[in-house]
Structure 1
Amino acid sequence: MLEALRSGDALNDKQRDVHDRGLVGVLRALHDDLDAAVADAYGWPVGLEDEAILARLVALNAERAAEEARGRIRYLRPEFQDPDGAAARAAEAKRQRSLTGEAAAPPPPAAAVRKWPAMSDPVAQYRAVRGVLAAADRPLAPADVAAFFQGAGPAKVAPVLEVLADLGHAGRTDDGRYTG
Structure 2
Amino acid sequence: MKKLRAGAANEGKDRQIYDNGLIGLLKDIHDRIDAAVAEADGWPADLPENDILMNLVALNHERAEEEARGHVRWLRPDYQNPEGRVAEARTGKLEIAAAKGAKAPWPKTLPAQIAAVREALEDLGEVDAETVARTFLRDRAMAVEPPAGNVCGPRHGRDDR
Query: Normalising to structure 2: TM-score of the pair?
Result: 0.49
From the two aligned structures, give the one with the greater strand fraction: 1
Structure exhibiting the larger radius of gyration computed from Cα positions: 1
From the two aligned structures, give the one with the greater helix fraction: 1
